[in-house]
Chains A and B, each alone.
Chain A
Amino acid sequence: MTLALSGKEVAAKLEQKFADSIIEVNKDSLLVKSESLLELISFLKTSPEFRFDFLNTITAVDYLEYFEVVYHLTSMEHNHSLVIKTRYYGRENPAVPSIVSLYEGANVQEREIYDLMGIRFENHPNMKRLFLWEGFQGHPLRKDYL
């Protein structure tokens, strides 16, 4: 059974290094500041204790007040998983850092989120729409689209 690590447990272990970057600790997830997202995920991926070598999925949710980007990570070595969330407040040009440099599987998913939700991923190698055509107006998965 894949062990879903609790946010509290992980936060306790990350405390010294990332004390300022963790905003909220939930039962099953960690809410982190987007500025330190890349560094934090990079640490989780490489540290021998966590070894989150596999990115299950990235997705985004529009809560009107803010956009939330959700990362599901799994370690195939230890068979445990963790959910990382980050937020962008406001509706104009939302952006979060890209994690393509860590996981290649993030490439198409981040493009998809940009296409449908309009969240830009900084330092993405090819930030273009994925499904819809260039010149399409708006981002359909946003709650205010229709």
Chain B
Amino acid sequence: MAIKTEPFVLNLGPVHPSTHGVYRMRVTLDGEVVVDIEPVVGYLHRGIEKLAEERTYTGVIPLTDRLDYISSMSNNLAYVLAVEKLAGIKVPERAEYLRVIMAELQRICNHLIAVGSFFNDCGAYFTPFLHMYREREKIIDLFEMVCGQRLTYNYMRIGGVSQDIPEEFLPALEKLLEQIHRSVDEFDLFLKENEILLARSRGVGILTKEKAINCSITGPVLRASGVGWDLRKADPYSVYDRFEFDIPTGSAGDCYDRYRVRIEEMRQSLRIIEQAVKQLPSGPVKAEVPHLVRPPAGDAYAHIESPKGELAVYLVSDNSIAPYRCHIRPTSLLNLSALRDMVIGWKIADLIIIFGSIDICLGEVDR
């Protein structure tokens, strides 16, 4: 005899440890099974795009730090690339290499957090997470060495970077690369075939190739679904065309593949940094750019492969000292657009894992 059940509406968030910020989902449940979800966003909306219209071109850089605040370097990079494209500014070689080194270190930082918090969501409370945070701390120490900040770096400038690296940076980086290499191998050894991880994430939250492309999904989530699309290779910006690296992809498009892709990407980032350090030329780190940049009227679109996916800035200039319009492509928001289809039919505990495996940052979702 079937028991009569009624749908139950649960408000998950906005203040909930598993929503990684202030994301809210209205989840309709049938028993434990998810029937429908309705995302509610905007709790962290600060109007960054509007604020940008009131500031000078250089003054917008600190605002971009506050988008995806765990990978500020990448946000800086996307924005300054757009301004440089708009104004036709050429960046010195050394600055390009420094940008690549910072962006790749930032990718490792981001993936450490992404993988760590994914394990939190799986129920391995804070043991893997703190091990990964330990490694991230070391990278942040290096960032502090170059720009004095530990979270909102504000390091890139229009036409280069704010300052050259100090003498002790390269030896410290070399030591760090070796440590991270070892730690990533160690994490992988412990976690790759962990039975609980396999049981919880294999075959869970499958995202097909076609769906991912149609939903404008990018980054590790897209690559885990088997699409080898990485802007560093597909549309190389800065000096990425000078490095050898692979694009890790998954095949099943489940939570496990997304975890695997991130681990492999950390290894590839280490490879890029090693090559960049070897090729690092000497010279100036900032082009001669006037204090108040006045790009000619027009528009420009620049995109980079940020740790979470395609981060793009669309700038419109009216030949004044402030952007007329500054649109930021929200990677995290778009990566969530397939969430509903990925979670329907799964249990609520799986919803948390699937959501965690996408790796979003609410600073970027809401802007």
Interface residues of A (CB under 8 A from B): 1-2, 53-57, 59, 61-62, 70, 72, 76, 79, 83, 103-109, 112, 116, 130-133, 140-141
Shortest beta-carbon distance from A124 to chain B in Å: 14
B316 touches which of A61, A79, A83, A107 (Cβ 8 Å): A61
**Contacts of A108 on B, CB cut-off 8 Å?**
333-334, 336-337
Question: Given A70-B314, A141-B50, does the pair A105, B337 have CB atoms closer than 8 Å?
Answer: yes
Alpha-carbon separation in the docked complex, A59 to B303 (Å):
14
The 9 listed contacts between A and B (C-beta, < 8 Å) are A56-B310, A61-B299, A104-B215, A104-B337, A105-B216, A105-B334, A107-B337, A108-B333, A141-B49
Given A1-B235, A79-B234, decide whether A56 and B216 contact each other with a Cβ distance below 8 A.
yes
**Cα separation A13 to B25 with both chains bound (whole Å):** 45
Cβ contact within 8 Å between A1 and B303: no
- Taking the closest CB of chain A, its distance from the CB of B52, in whole angstroms, is 11
| Residue among B41, B49, B217 making CB contact with A116, cutoff 8 Å | B49
Taking a contact as CB atoms closer than 8 A, the residue among A57, A76, A109 that contacts B227 in the complex is: A76
User: Smallest Cβ distance from B35 to chain A, in angstroms?
Assistant: 17
Residues of B within 8 A of A53 (CB): 213-214
| Count of chain B residues near A, Cβ 8 A | 34
Query: Chain B CB within 10 Å — which of A1, A53, A130, A131 has the most?
Result: A131
Cross-chain contact A130 with B41 (CB below 8 angstroms): yes
- Please determine whether A109 and B334 come into contact, CB atoms closer than 8 angstroms: yes
Query: Whole-angstrom distance between the alpha carbons of A54 and B217 in the complex?
Result: 9
Question: CB < 8 Å: which of B45, B236, B299, B312 contacts A132?
Answer: B45
For chain B residues 308-351, which have a beta carbon within 8 Å of chain A?
A: 310, 312, 314, 316, 324-325, 327, 329, 333-334, 336-338
Interface residues of chain B, those whose CB is within 8 Å of chain A, are 41-42, 45, 47, 49-50, 211, 213-217, 227, 229, 234-236, 299, 301, 303, 310, 312, 314, 316, 324-325, 327, 329, 333-334, 336-338, 366
- Residues of B contacting A107 with CB < 8 Å? 337
B338 A61 Cβ-Cβ under 8 A: no
CA distance A29 to B27 in the complex (A): 41
Q: Report the Cα distance A55→B366, complex, angstroms.
A: 20
Q: Is A56 touching B312 in the complex (CB atoms < 8 A)?
A: yes
On whether the beta carbons of B42 and A131 are closer than 8 Å, the reply is yes
B49→A104 contact, CB < 8 A: no
CA distance A112 to B216 in the complex (A): 15
For A61, list chain B residues within 8 Å (CB): 299, 316, 324-325
Give the tally of cross-chain contacts (CB within 8 A). Answer: 77
CB distance from A146 to the nearest CB of B (A): 8
A116-B333 Cα distance, complex, nearest whole Å = 16
Chain B residues whose CB sits within 8 angstroms of the CB of A83 once the complex forms: 301
Q: Which residues from A are CB-within-8-Å of B42?
A: 130-133
Bound complex: CA of A56 vs CA of B311, how far in Å? 10
A2 to B229, CA, bound (A): 11
Task: Give the CA-CA distance A70 to B50 in the complex, in Å.
Answer: 18
- Of all chain A residues, the one with the shortest Cβ separation from B303 is A56
CA distance A54 to B337 in the complex (A): 14
Bound CA–CA A107/B235 (angstroms): 26
List chain A residues, Cβ under 8 A from B337: 104-105, 107-108
Inside 8 A of B215's CB, which chain A residues have their CB? 103-105
Q: Are the C-beta atoms of B366 and A131 separated by less than 8 Å?
A: yes
Contact A140 B214, beta carbon cutoff 8 Å: no
Q: In the assembled complex, which residues on chain B have CB atoms less than 8 Å from the CB atom of A104?
A: 211, 214-216, 337-338
Residues of A with C-beta under 8 A to B329: 56-57
- Report the minimum CB–CB distance from A110 to chain B (whole Å): 11
Q: A131-B42, A140-B47, A141-B50 are in contact. Are A2 and B235 (CB under 8 A)?
A: yes
Residues on B with beta carbons closer than 8 Å to the beta carbon of A140: 47, 50
Which residue of chain A has the shortest Cβ distance to B235 in the bound complex?
A2
B217 to chain A, nearest CB (A): 7
**Cβ–Cβ < 8 Å partners of B217 in chain A:** 105
Which residues of the other chain, B, contact A54 by a CB distance below 8 angstroms? 213, 216
Q: Which residues of B are found within 8 Å of A116, using beta-carbon distances?
A: 49-50
Contact residues in B for A57 (Cβ distance below 8 Å)? 216, 312, 314, 327, 329
Residue in B45, B227, B325, B336 whose CB lies within 8 Å of A131: B45
Residue contact A72 to B301, C-beta cutoff 8 Å: yes
Instruction: Name, among A104, A106, A116, A141, the residue most crowded by chain B CB atoms within 10 Å (CB to CB).
Output: A104
